[in-house]
Amino acid sequence: MQHGRIVGFAEAPFEEFVSVFGETLPPWPLLVPFALTFIYNLKNRIMSSKNRISTVITPEQVQKSTDAILAFKANLNNVLTISLAPEERRKMLKMGNKTLSFVEKTLEYARHNPSLVPIFMDLEEPIKDYELAAILYDIFQQLNTLITSVEDAGMAAGSEAYEAALIFYHTVKGASRSSVPGSQAIYDDLSQRFPGQRKAKTFTPPQP
């Protein structure tokens, strides 16, 4: 530690802890929330050093992205006509990456050996279904990669915003316990919105 400064994770001037109050420290009820604020601000500086995303998305980008999604759906409107129920999804045979090669080879053998194809099977239909499934699977893989990237960016940005909100929330919480003017109303409002906070049940007296 250098004289007058905290070094290491963050270069935070130690003097700022007392600079607000001059040379005389305030009574403990006011000092405690300020100390909490100082600690949380120091944590916030450390947090900002690992900031993974710091950018904006313009309205033009949002509009172009929305238009592209709508265009994509319109382009495949003759294909995207199926809406499976959860029970149908559970029972339906699923063709994945490994199954694709099996189905392709099987249908190839069937096409070159028509005498072995059951008379009730119209071979052209499964061939057409396979070709459609293979193309859609490739499109799905590309979309899945894109969706994962969008999800990762949103998760990182949301996590950083949430962490900052928690820092402020807990600072206000400490300030309200020490009766810092203006802090109680903020804490009361935020505590009702705090994730996982259960709303108080309203007592209903029994009917006579």
Model confidence pLDDT, tens digit, residues 190-207? 999 887 665 555 445 555
Helix%, strand%, coil% for the chain, nearest 5: 65, 0, 35
Cβ–Cβ under 8 Å, residues 106 and 114 = no
Tens-digit pLDDT profile for residues 4-53: 333 333 334 444 444 444 444 455 455 555 565 666 565 655 555 568 88
Please say if the pLDDT value at position 2 is more than 50: no
% of the chain surpassing 70 pLDDT = 70
pLDDT of residue 90: 94
Please say if the pLDDT value at position 65 is more than 70: yes
